[in-house]
């Protein structure tokens, strides 16, 4: 049998993808499709006085021009994907009529014979704006007397999320040691190869609109469209094509463009297509990451954590499309560590920048960055090995299920299902050859080189609810059709779910076909996000596979006159105990049970219609985990960072296909190294994006991704029959923390060579001009050590760009 669970089967998708035959949304053959282009606001915050489209309507090839006010039937606020009762929601309209809140927000739409003509017409639209003051940082949003990001709001704070366990304040006050730090993780994007794209065609003969959408969540999109259009769900078919060039989070959200494009198709009775170009993607696809953490830890003299308090500013952007990221951040702070007292408080702030939502990692890299940077500071403070400090605080393998003490975002106790964090850490250190690395680091330092080692350990909630489902059907060719609601974004669904189905049914995977992401084929689904599909759709396919196996065996047994237990599968045939002479093909089974003979009763005992469906609803989230270790060398003059070695220890529970998980982890790491060192969509103080092309935004290419040494631990999740967790984000999450730790470690040698710069101001949370790195010590009796530590450069930002490194070095007096 080929391709059972755990086999490193090659991806079925790769042949077409690697030979340039991937078929992206923009490649779909949509004859006579009109092109749609959006006019987008050039201002971060402005009042719209008027929009004159007369000239645009006269432009060559223009079929229609619509403003928000021309589309009042769909002028309805888009609901946040993840809600909170305290959320001060500001309406996000498909196309706003009165006020724009970020550069890139749609203000009008042109439909034309082709995209060139549509864009030409955009330039003829005359919008009269009154520019208003813009908010371009959480600090600005929270500053006293700050202008409002939305003129009609009463505050820039969208919601305050608090997590408490024990009494963090008291524990901090009584802790033998107390350290604080302020860390900032800058915005970053998804940067899928194919950007967002929507095409739509209305079929008047059925009253149904077909929407092709590069969404990660076709059923979610359908649900939103159904509500906004006031159409029955079955009258909207959302198809997420199998090849979309990745999702990475931004495509899991729901956007105004997704409302406008199908509506225009229905208004005009024409096929229409909008493909977000790269420039639009920079200014209108959601981003993530932007957070500031003021974190404080209390610990004993052995380095054991007593308390953590984290004050978090979260950049929500111009609208709240969902509160998943801030929720995840607050619950990720404690990570793999036993911390008796926890207090996190997150302020989600409206700013005049493109809204934020999940990007691979989704709120976790920031929390891991803050916590793991502090673990290194504790080690430095106590003069302990950073690995040893972690070792002393890790949750142990026999402590699962482990209740962290705070809550998951549904209000249930945050509970880790399984894991072995010590083994992950030790395995990572072993693979790194930690002691040798330390010797080499010290040797390099002795040679005047700046080499450092960084470690980061993380826990990642994944496999989230509410559910995911699958239908399995024997088709009339004798093939088994696996239909997933979930839409693949390149993860290899066509391969993995064929493996799972093959294993459950007990047939070769070449009998299995997998189709995904089409609301016309399966009525319910949630979507591909939050590393949830293997642990939710996986069990659904597995359970349905067992049902189908029983149906096939029952039918074959009736046809062969034996007991179902005697049936064995051999290729495309069901045999009586392996006897090829006494066998029936799957196609024959389909002929009998599915096709039937017209007007003739089914043979005795045969049940009709071999299709089964199964939906799997996990009891709670599963928790993947991992440890990263980096060795870097820093050029203090240029600020350049070179990764010399990188080790990843990864535990996503049972692995369906090791080859694919390796791909996920390494791909995730590429994303992580971008977040660690390169990517930053800078906005100026007026909310103008300063890096809206790949000339300015340094997206990682293969050349920048160092070689990774990777190993896996397998602690099965008890929450699903596959024991699976999620693997899509683990490569990303701790990378900025590990790299920053390594860079700071590399720069520690500088204090020995550079001058001492004492008496730096104790920044108490106010935004310093120019965004310099800050670090302060509190309740530390050893003033001398404090002074020494203050002298070495501090890496308090991600990404750790050359400019930031050089600045840190300069500020440290190098």
Question: Scanning residues 269 to 298, which ones bind its own copies (CB under 8 A)?
Answer: 269
Given 115, 521, 582, 785, the residue binding its own copies (CB under 8 A): 521
Q: Considering the rule CB under 8 A, would residue 599 count as an interface residue with its own copies? A: yes
What is the spatial distance between Cα 488 and Cα 241, in angstroms, rounded to a whole number? 8
- For residues 302-340, b (16+ Cβ closer than 10 Å) or e, as one string? ebbbbbbbbbbbbbbbbbbbbbbbbbbbbbbbbbbbbbe
**Minimum distance, C-beta of residue 371 to its own copies, in the bound complex (Å):** 22
Give, to the nearest 10 degrees, the angle between helix 735-747 and helix 802-811. 40
Contacts of 542 (CB under 8 A, 6+ apart): 500, 501, 503, 504, 721, 722
Residue from 85, 145, 601, 784 touching its own copies (CB under 8 A): that is 601
Report in angstroms the alpha-carbon separations of 737 from 455, 740, 747: 8, 5, 15
Binding region for its own copies (CB under 8 A) out of 3-11, 382-390, 421-429, 591-599: 591-599
Q: Nearest-CA neighbor of 545 among 484, 467, 463?
A: 484
The verdict on 469 binding its own copies (CB under 8 A) reads: yes
**Residue 607 found at the interface with its own copies (CB under 8 A):** yes
Separation between Cα atoms, residue 540 and residue 485, nearest integer Å: 11
Taking contact as CB under 8 A, which single stretch among the options 206-214, 562-570, 762-770, 771-779 is the one that binds its own copies? 206-214
* Residue 278 CA: distances (Å) to CA of 125, 616, 692, 693, 714: 22, 37, 8, 7, 39
The pattern of x and - marking residues 21 through 40 that bind its own copies according to CB under 8 A reads -------xxxx---------
Query: Of the candidates 240, 238, 251, which has an alpha carbon nearest to the alpha carbon of residue 193?
Result: 251
What residues between 303 and 322 interact with its own copies by CB under 8 A? 322
> Binding to its own copies by residue 335, rule CB under 8 A?
no
Considering the complex, state which of residue 535 and residue 809 has its C-beta at the smaller distance from its own copies.
535
Choosing from 520, 571, 640, 802, the residue that interacts with its own copies (CB under 8 A) is: 520
Shortest Cβ 468–its own copies spacing (Å): 9
The residue among 184 and 201 lying less far from its own copies, judged by its C-beta, is 201
CB of 111 to its own copies, least distance (A): 17
- Considering only residues 616 to 675 of the shown chain, the ones binding its own copies according to CB under 8 A are 617-621
Q: Helix, strand, coil shares of the chain as percentages rounded to 5?
A: 30, 25, 40
Residues 410-439, interacting with its own copies (CB under 8 A): 410, 412
Q: Quick one: 408 or 711, whose CB is closer to its own copies?
A: 408
> Residues with Cβ < 8 Å from 436, sequence gap 6 or more?
none
- Taking the CA atoms of residue 362, residue 363, residue 366 and residue 367 in that order, the dihedral angle to the nearest 10 degrees is -130
Residue 464 found at the interface with its own copies (CB under 8 A): yes
Q: How far is the CB of 667 from its own copies (least distance, A)?
A: 22
> How many residues bind its own copies, per CB under 8 A?
72
Of the residues 524, 570, 691, 779, which one makes contact with its own copies according to CB under 8 A = 524
CA angle 242, 247, 253 (to 5 degrees): 110
Using only C-alpha atoms, the chain has a radius of gyration, in whole angstroms, of 28
- Closest CB to its own copies among residues 317, 463: 463
Asked if residue 409 binds its own copies (CB under 8 A), the reply is: yes
Helix 364-382 / helix 735-747 crossing angle, nearest 10 deg: 30
> In the window 541-580, what residues touch its own copies (CB under 8 A)?
none
When the beta carbons of 465 and 706 are compared against its own copies, the nearer one is 465
Is 63 a binding residue for its own copies by CB under 8 A? The answer is no
609 binds its own copies (CB under 8 A): yes
Indicate whether 691 belongs to the interface with its own copies (CB under 8 A): no
Question: Residue 520: phi, psi to the nearest 5?
Answer: -75, -15
Cβ of residue 437: shortest distance to its own copies, in angstroms? 38
């Amino acid at each position: 049998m080929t391709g059972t669970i755990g086999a490193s089967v090659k991806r079925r998708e790769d042949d077409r993808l690697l030979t340039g035959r991937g078929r992206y949304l923009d490649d779909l053959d949509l004859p006579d499709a009109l092109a749609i282009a959006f006019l987008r606001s050039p201002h971060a915050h402005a009042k719209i006085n008027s929009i004159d489209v007369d000239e645009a309507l006269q432009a060559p090839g223009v079929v229609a021009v619509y403003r928000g006010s021309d589309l009042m039937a769909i002028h309805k606020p888009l609901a946040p994907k993840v809600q909170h009762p305290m959320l001060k929601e500001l309406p996000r309209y498909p196309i706003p009529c009165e006020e724009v809140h970020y550069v890139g927000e749609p203000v009008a739409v042109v439909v034309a014979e082709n995209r060139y003509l549509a864009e030409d017409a955009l330039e003829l639209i005359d919008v009269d704006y009154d520019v208003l003051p813009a908010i371009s940082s959480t600090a600005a949003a929270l500053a006293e007397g700050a202008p409002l990001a939305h003129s009609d709001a009463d505050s820039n704070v969208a919601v305050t999320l608090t997590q408490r366990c024990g009494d963090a304040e008291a524990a901090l006050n009584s802790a033998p040691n107390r350290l604080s730090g302020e860390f900032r993780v800058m915005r970053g994007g998804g940067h899928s190869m194919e950007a967002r794209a929507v095409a739509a065609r209305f079929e008047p003969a059925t009253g149904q609109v077909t929407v092709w959408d590069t969404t990660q969540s076709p059923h979610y999109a359908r649900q939103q469209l159904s509500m906004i259009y006031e159409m029955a769900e079955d009258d909207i078919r959302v198809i997420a094509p199998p090849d979309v060039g990745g999702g990475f989070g931004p495509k899991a959200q729901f956007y105004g463009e997704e409302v406008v494009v199908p509506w225009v198709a229905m208004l005009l009775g024409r096929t229409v297509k909008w493909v977000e170009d790269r420039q639009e993607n920079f200014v209108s696809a959601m981003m993530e990451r932007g957070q500031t953490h003021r974190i404080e830890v209390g610990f004993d003299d052995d380095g054991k954590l007593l308390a953590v308090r984290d004050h978090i500013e979260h950049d929500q952007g111009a609208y709240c499309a969902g509160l998943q990221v801030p929720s995840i951040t607050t619950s990720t702070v404690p990570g793999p560590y036993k911390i008796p007292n926890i207090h996190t408080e997150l302020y989600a702030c409206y700013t005049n920048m493109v809204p934020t939502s999940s990007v691979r990692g989704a709120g976790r890299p920031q929390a891991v960055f803050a916590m793991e940077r502090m673990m290194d500071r504790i080690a430095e403070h106590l003069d302990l090995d950073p690995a040893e400090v972690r070792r002393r605080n890790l949750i142990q393998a026999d402590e699962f299920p482990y209740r962290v003490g705070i809550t998951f975002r549904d209000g249930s106790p945050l509970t880790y299902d399984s894991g072995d964090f010590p083994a992950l850490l030790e395995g990572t250190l072993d693979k790194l050859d930690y002691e040798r690395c330390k010797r080499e680091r010290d040797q390099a330092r002795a040679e005047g080189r700046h080499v450092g080692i960084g470690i980061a350990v993380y826990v990642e909630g994944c496999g989230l609810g509410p559910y995911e489902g699958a239908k399995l059907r024997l088709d009339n060719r004798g093939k088994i059709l696996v239909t997933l609601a979930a839409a693949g974004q390149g993860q290899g669904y066509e391969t993995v779910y064929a493996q799972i189905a093959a294993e459950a049914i007990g047939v070769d995977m070449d009998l299995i076909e997998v189709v995904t992401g089409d609301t016309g084929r399966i009525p319910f689904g949630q979507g591909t996000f939050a590393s949830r599909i293997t642990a939710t759709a996986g069990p659904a396919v597995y359970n349905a596979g067992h049902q189908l196996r029983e149906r096939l065996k029952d039918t074959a047994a009736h046809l062969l006159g034996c007991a179902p237990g005697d049936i064995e599968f051999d290729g495309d045939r069901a045999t009586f105990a392996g006897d090829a002479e006494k066998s029936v093909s799957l196609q024959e089974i389909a002929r009998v049970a599915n096709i039937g003979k017209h007007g003739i009763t089914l043979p005795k005992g045969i049940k009709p219609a071999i299709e089964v469906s199964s939906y799997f609803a996990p009891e709670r989230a599963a928790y993947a985990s991992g440890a990263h270790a980096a060795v870097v060398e820093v050029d203090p003059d240029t600020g350049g960072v070179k990764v010399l070695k990188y080790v990843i220890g990864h535990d996503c529970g049972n692995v369906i296909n090791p080859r694919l998980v390796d791909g996920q982890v390494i791909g995730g790491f590429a994303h992580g190294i971008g977040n660690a060192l390169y990517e930053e969509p800078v906005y100026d103080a007026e909310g103008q994006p300063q890096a809206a092309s790949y000339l300015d935004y340094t997206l990682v290419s293969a050349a920048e991704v160092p070689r990774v040494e990777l190993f896996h631990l397998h602690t099965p999740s008890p929450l699903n029959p596959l024991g699976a967790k999620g693997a899509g984000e683990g490569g990303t999450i701790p990378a900025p923390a590990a790299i920053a730790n390594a860079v700071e470690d590399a720069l520690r040698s500088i204090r020995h060579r550079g001058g001492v710069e004492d008496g730096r101001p104790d920044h108490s949370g106010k935004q310093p001009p120019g965004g310099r790195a800050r670090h302060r010590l509190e309740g530390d009796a050893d003033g001398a050590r404090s002074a020494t530590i203050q002298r070495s450069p501090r890496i308090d930002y991600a990404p750790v760009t050359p400019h930031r490194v050089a600045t840190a070095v300069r500020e440290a007096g190098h």
